[in-house]
Amino acid sequence: MSAVPIDLWLSSSAQALSLLPIGLMALLGINLGALVLLRLRSPIVTDNPDRRSSASPTADWPSVVVQLPVFNEGLLVRPCLEAIARLDYPIDKLSVQLLDDSDDGSAANNRLHAQQIAEQTGLQIDVIHRVDRAGFKAGALAAGLSHTQAEMAVIFDVDFTPSPDFLQRALPPLLHDPSVGFVQARWAHRNPHSSWLTRAQAALLDAHFRVEQAARYRNGLPIAFNGTCGVWRLSTIAAAGGWQGDTLSEDLDLSMRAQLVGYRGVFLDDLPVTGELLTSARAWQQQQFRWTKGHAQVLRKLGPRLLAAPWPRLSRLAVLLQIAQGLFFPLAALSLLLSLPGVILESPPHGMLAALVSVIGLSGLLGASLFLGLGRRLAGSSWARTVIETFGAMILLGGLLISNSRAALEGLAGRPSAFIRSDKPGARGQTQNRAPRSAAALPVAQTLAGLSILGLFLLEQAWNAPFLATTALGLLAVALPQLQSSLPILTSQRSS
């Protein structure tokens, strides 16, 4: 029997091993397809008991504190405070906390805005300024709760502006059912058509809210709190262990802990709150890094408890797949690395292996496409626009391959990092988040990686072209807009 050539053995072994990450990626994609089916089979129930309340008289409304966590977002503070002051709610039962951790010199102006609006409206607005940022956003929210006796806490990031009837529409589920621990409203977008980046963000967020959150809630599955545009019962926060700053996704962490101790969340698809989409590729990439790492940290922190939760198997599986979505990126990176031997040795997969890899990969791609596409249709996009925006969103996700792979692995490994605020439109303070050299080098690495994938794989591995093309185009689409600002940082720091 003749020996198998070492190069063929290496190539075949790597190709066989690649089935594992490709299969796991397909599982995550199929999960998205399953959410599509769950969403389609559960139309809106117009007489949902969660939307009714026995508290019609104003005397029955609970005391509410509106918490506004702020960090170097000075120009957004006043418009948000003005929107809060317009809330249709008994003023003697409403208070506001401006939780200001700013260190860019905007804190004094923020306090002045709060004082002026309080004097004009009679609304109680307390400014709590911290200088150490302990626990980041979770720490700010926890600090605020230690200064209130309210029954309910409403949380808004300052780039969101609620409608005057927000509280009257969001509170009834909490008043109707004591097992409801929090309510999450749907995000809407003020600037979805500003650029290709905002269009893609809108597609991704609409799929999450209109498909994923709606499907989970309507089918009795645990849902996540999204950090803003929601209401919490303070007794629920206390029962769940309070806000904790040991992950970058304090919102997901608290909502999972609350549901583990017996509370449930309510998602209000028909209550939109308008916010700003990021207009900078760098800011969006920072945000996605934080979200991906935070999810991985929550998976590490709560995974064992979620596996042992007294829930149906479907609920446990759904929650774990939801939290593990960010693992797609390191799995994709691993599958690309395992393809390298076949490229270098000019030995692409053949026959059954190539067909199997293609079928598994396309099944996951189909699930993700249907997920994003349904989100666009539910948002009112035409069929033609749906196809274009879905493709754009998938390309944008491909551009996160390097940064989000690092985020997921750091989160699973328990490596801590600071909560880096994303630069939001109109939020420029006296200082901005300047990219360190490591962050400035990322667009260069992404550009080189994108060009390498195009050059190596699209020529040598046409059988895997859909995945490789979206990844390469995404890396270039995210990196190229950042090169102009990154290269001067790299050259100046090198010369110094």
Q: Which positions are catalytic? A: 101, 251
Q: How far is CA 349 from CA 8, 22, 144, 283, 325, in A?
A: 11, 14, 58, 39, 27
Is the CB of residue 32 less than 8 Å from the CB of residue 367? yes
Is the CB of residue 275 less than 8 Å from the CB of residue 323? no
Measured CA to CA, the distance from residue 77 to residue 427 in angstroms comes to 9
Is the CB of residue 249 less than 8 Å from the CB of residue 162? no
Q: Which residues is 183 bridged to in the sheet?
A: 231, 266
Q: Which two tokens stand for residue 283?
A: 């800011």
Is the CB of residue 408 less than 8 Å from the CB of residue 327? yes
Amino acid at 144: G
Measured CA to CA, the distance from residue 125 to residue 385 in angstroms comes to 44
Residue given tokens 């909502």 in the structure block: 255
Q: Which two tokens stand for residue 254?
A: 């608290």
For 329-363, b/e burial (b = at least 16 CB within 10 A) is bbbbbbbbebbebbbeeebbbeeeeeebbbebbbb
Residue 422 gets which letter from DSSP? Answer: P
Helix (H) or strand (E) holding 283: helix 281-307
For 86-117, b/e burial (b = at least 16 CB within 10 A) is ebebeeebbbbbbbbbbbeebbebbbebbeeb
Measured CA to CA, the distance from residue 382 to residue 231 in angstroms comes to 33
Measured CA to CA, the distance from residue 324 to residue 285 in angstroms comes to 19
User: Residue 100: helix, strand or coil by DSSP?
Assistant: strand
